[in-house]
């Protein structure tokens, strides 16, 4: 995404990015032991949240009690199906287990078919079920492809109550891209009646990747906009790179 950074610049990016990280394990081979290890890394490094499969929410909530690290989980993931009742039930169950944040996959295929109201109904129903907890809506921008459709999905999700819009599940051939993130930021900026944030996820592995998205957010939203309440990075491998950059700083 960008040229290599000097050690000083890499450390500066790492200092900004680490507190914005949703440290993530949504691999097919995820285990309770791996989730516990993830929580240990989160406690040690000051990330904002962990993001895990629903089965591991209760264990993470226990492990992170009183740490300040939030527990996020995924709903309707990764397929982005149309079953509103199932998504609502799953949301309520994970909140009961201790989830602080819900990352919901938008029924993006329905949107692509022109079934906009079905997609909107999913977001609105899960918004209501969240009972004040943070809701991030995953647009799956690599599948939507069209700038107009990405903008429409962004606007629809915000209008239905999303606190964040998120680029990707990380489970498709194309995940986060700078052009898609720019469209999403522009939509957030235009939607003044409902302040919201952006989460970029899928394919961010280098400090330079984080730096490119932070620079984009600074340009689009202003240098004081980025914070854990407005900007998140969903990643796993990136965490180690950020820690290494801080350790290598002169």
Q: What are the two backbone dihedrals, phi and then psi, of residue 212, each rounded to the nearest 5 degrees? A: -65, -40
Hey, where are the domains in the chain?
Answer: 7-247
Output the CA–CA distances (angstroms, integers) from residue 145 to 16, 187, 207, in the order listed: 29, 16, 26
**Interatomic CA distance for residues 180 and 140, integer angstroms:** 10
C-beta pairs of 120-123 under 8 Å, 24+ apart in sequence: 120/156, 120/159, 120/160, 121/84, 122/76, 122/82, 122/84, 122/87, 123/156, 123/157, 123/160, 123/161, 123/162
pLDDT of res. 1 = 44
CATH match for 7-247 among 3.60.20.10, 3.20.20.70, 3.40.50.720, 3.60.21.10: 3.20.20.70
Per-residue pLDDT in tens (0 to 9) along the chain, 250 residues? 456 899 999 999 999 999 999 999 999 999 999 999 999 999 999 999 999 999 999 999 999 999 999 999 999 999 999 999 999 999 999 999 999 999 999 999 999 999 999 999 999 999 999 989 999 999 999 999 899 999 999 999 999 999 999 999 999 999 999 999 999 999 999 987 789 999 999 999 999 999 999 999 999 999 999 999 999 999 999 999 999 999 998 8
pLDDT of res. 85 = 98
Which residues are known to be catalytic? 103, 166, 199
């Amino acid at each position: 995404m960008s040229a290599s950074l000097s050690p000083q610049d890499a450390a500066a990016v790492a200092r900004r990015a680490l507190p914005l990280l949703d440290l993530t394990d949504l691999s097919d081979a995820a285990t309770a032991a791996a989730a516990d290890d993830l929580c240990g890394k989160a406690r040690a490094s000051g990330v904002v949240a962990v993001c895990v499969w629903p089965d591991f929410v209760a264990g993470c909530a226990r492990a992170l009690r009183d740490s300040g690290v939030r527990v996020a989980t995924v709903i309707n993931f990764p397929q982005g199906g149309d079953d509103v009742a199932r998504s609502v039930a799953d949301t309520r169950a994970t909140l009961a287990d201790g989830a602080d944040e819900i990352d919901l996959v938008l029924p993006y295929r329905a949107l692509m078919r022109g079934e906009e109201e079905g997609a909107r109904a999913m977001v609105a129903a899960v918004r209501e079920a969240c009972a004040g907890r943070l809701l991030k809506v995953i647009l799956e921008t690599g599948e939507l492809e069209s700038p107009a459709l990405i903008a429409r999905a962004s606007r629809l999700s915000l209008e239905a109550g999303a606190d964040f819009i998120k680029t990707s599940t990380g489970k498709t051939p194309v995940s986060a891209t700078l052009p898609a993130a720019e469209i999403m930021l522009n939509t957030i900026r235009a939607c003044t009646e409902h302040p919201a944030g952006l989460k970029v996820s899928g394919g961010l592995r280098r400090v330079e990747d984080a730096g490119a998205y932070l620079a984009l957010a600074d340009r689009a939203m202003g240098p004081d906009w980025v914070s854990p309440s407005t900007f998140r990075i969903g990643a796993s491998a990136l965490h180690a790179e950020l820690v290494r950059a801080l350790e290598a700083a002169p």
